[in-house]
Structure 1
Amino acid sequence: MIDKNSPLPIYAQLEEQIKERIESGNLKPGDGLPSEREYCERYGISRMTVRQAINNLVNDGYLRREKGKGTYVAEKKLEQQLQGLTSFTEDMKARGMEPSSTLLHFEIVPAPESIAQLLSVGQHEPVYRIRRIRLADGKPMALETSHIPANLVPGLTPDIVAGSLYQYIEERLRYPIDHSNQVIESAAAGEMESRHLSIPAGCPILLIQRDTFLKDGTPIETVKSAYRADRYKFVTTIRR
């Protein structure tokens, strides 16, 4: 029920009720919510009040809107700690999820100037260009484009990159991966991200640029990833 005499605003009461149903499991990911009109009639409140509660829950990641369809309970976001360098495969397995990849492109190309600088190779030296959709339990999580020096990492094949690239580098080639530099920023999904991640164009995504290095400082990979912002979030501990 809504207590109109409560000091807690009506929109906040409705927000808490919906959130409680989600957290208790009464509303599950993918379930549709009643329309704004139904909430208005059920509680005798204004549409503006209902809209504010729904907007807050969308912004907090509890709900998602589908244009022309309605409002649905969102999938719970996966958290990735920003401590420790792990591959996508390692990260998903640590969560008890089944990682997989859909390989879109695998080719050796002359290194463009920008990629050559990041990998410390000569311009036009051969590099692998690998584009994959990364999935967890069969659901698309990220669109990833990697560049790797072909002379440094010989023998890559589509079958190898279908699994864990880091595992191949460390266990087969015996190269010790040491650290990476990573930049994360927000962006809107373009046509390519929309198509491969099954999200509408313009939806928020997390863009990640990661440059990975061996123990001796040699660059081993530069990768750009577009993560679904409705399914992924990054957390870190900051100490004073």
Structure 2
Amino acid sequence: MSSRDTITELIECYIIDNDLRPGDRLPSERDLCKQWGVNRMTLRNAIKRLSELGVVESKVGLGTFVAKPKIVRNLQDTLGSSEAIAAAGGELERIVVSSRLAEADKHAVRQLHVMLASPVFELTRVCIVDGERAAIESVIVNARDCPGIEGHDYAVESLYGVLREEYGLVATRGTERIDVCKLDEREADLLDYPAGTTAFFQEGLMLDQEGKPLEYFTTIAMPQRIVFGTELRPFSEGEGRWHVGHR
């Protein structure tokens, strides 16, 4: 085990043994180095690793603190983001980046099975979880199925709630995939992270109760705040655990 890994475990044990809670401050780097007999570079590497894992967070000029717990997003549910985050015990705020009607391009045609240049609704929002910017959500919806959908305030209203209550459309099933990406300059600015920071990339297509495409979505989620989980189940003979996909 490397020195960094050893110190990483010591920090985690310190948090547990001292019953530290989210927001509690760890001792100074100087005190920890003296306590464990390590150099400051090794300690900083361990803190950086724990910061990447979302265990601690460092604040310039203030020190290192126990991080808030992550939101676990269940990949098997069909909840909207507000319902999913509430179910996971988080508090959600949103900033609307763009909300507009547009003409379907080839990508929207392929995903939503609509005619080229037919009206679609495009919505992009930044999700703030427990006071911290955590994700960018972008969706495309067939506007012909829900006239007037652009006239809502999606900073406070749930898109799935509007689809359900105003138009009788409910997401019942869908497909999605998860990958990793690096934040570009625009994404980094919206999420208040450095450009090049690693993030989760999620995209998928949700179907309504009649099996018609309802919503194509992409999400860029910060692993410091959101992780993805699922429930394992037995699979039938002939099923495989892996399949070939296309980007």
CA, structure 1 residues 106+54, in 2 after alignment: closer, same or farther (shift >3 Å)? Answer: closer
| 1:104 alignment partner, one of 97, 110, 126 | 97
Unaligned runs of 5+ in 1: 1-7
Distance 2:5 2:80 in 1: 40
Pairs aligned (count):
232
Q: Deviations over 1:59-113 (max 9, x none)?
A: 5431346799975543321111222211101012223433232111111111110
Q: Which runs of 4+ in 1 moved over 6 A?
A: 66-70
- Determine the structure 2 residue equivalent to 1:218: 212
Q: Deviations over 1:10-64 (max 9, x none)?
A: 65554333213434543643746633x6543343334565356435534543134
| 1:236 alignment partner, one of 208, 230, 245 | 230
Distance 2:137 2:219 in 1: 4
Distance 2:132 2:107 in 1: 32
Distance 2:43 2:93 in 1: 40
Distance 1:115 1:191 in 2: 25
Larger displacement relative to structure 2 (168-177 or 48-57)? 48-57
Question: Are 1:108 and 1:129, in contact at CA under 8 Å, matched by a contact in 2?
Answer: yes
Unaligned runs of 5+ in 2: 235-247
Q: Deviations over 1:194-237 (max 9, x none)?
A: 11112111111111112111122211111111111110101122
Percent of pairs with identical residues: 25
CA, structure 1 residues 158+33, in 2 after alignment: closer, same or farther (shift >3 Å)? Answer: farther
Larger displacement relative to structure 2 (94-103 or 123-132)? 94-103
CA, structure 1 residues 60+196, in 2 after alignment: closer, same or farther (shift >3 Å)? Answer: closer
| 2:137 alignment partner, one of 136, 144, 149 | 144
Question: Are 1:30 and 1:75, in contact at CA under 8 Å, matched by a contact in 2?
Answer: no
Check if 1:19 corresponds to 2:12. Answer: yes
Q: Deviations over 1:149-172 (max 9, x none)?
A: 111111113534331111121222
| 2:68 alignment partner, one of 75, 80, 85 | 75
Q: Output aligned runs, 1:27-176, within 5 Å.
A: 28-29=22-23, 31=25, 34-35=28-29, 38-47=31-40, 49-50=42-43, 53-54=46-47, 56-64=49-57, 72-162=65-155, 163-176=157-170
- Determine the structure 1 residue equivalent to 2:241: none
Please state whether the residue corresponding to 1:151 is helix, strand or coil: helix
Q: CA RMSD in A?
A: 2.9
Deviation at 1:192? 1.5
Distance 1:194 1:149 in 2: 29
Distance 1:50 1:22 in 2: 15
CA, structure 1 residues 85+191, in 2 after alignment: closer, same or farther (shift >3 Å)? Answer: same
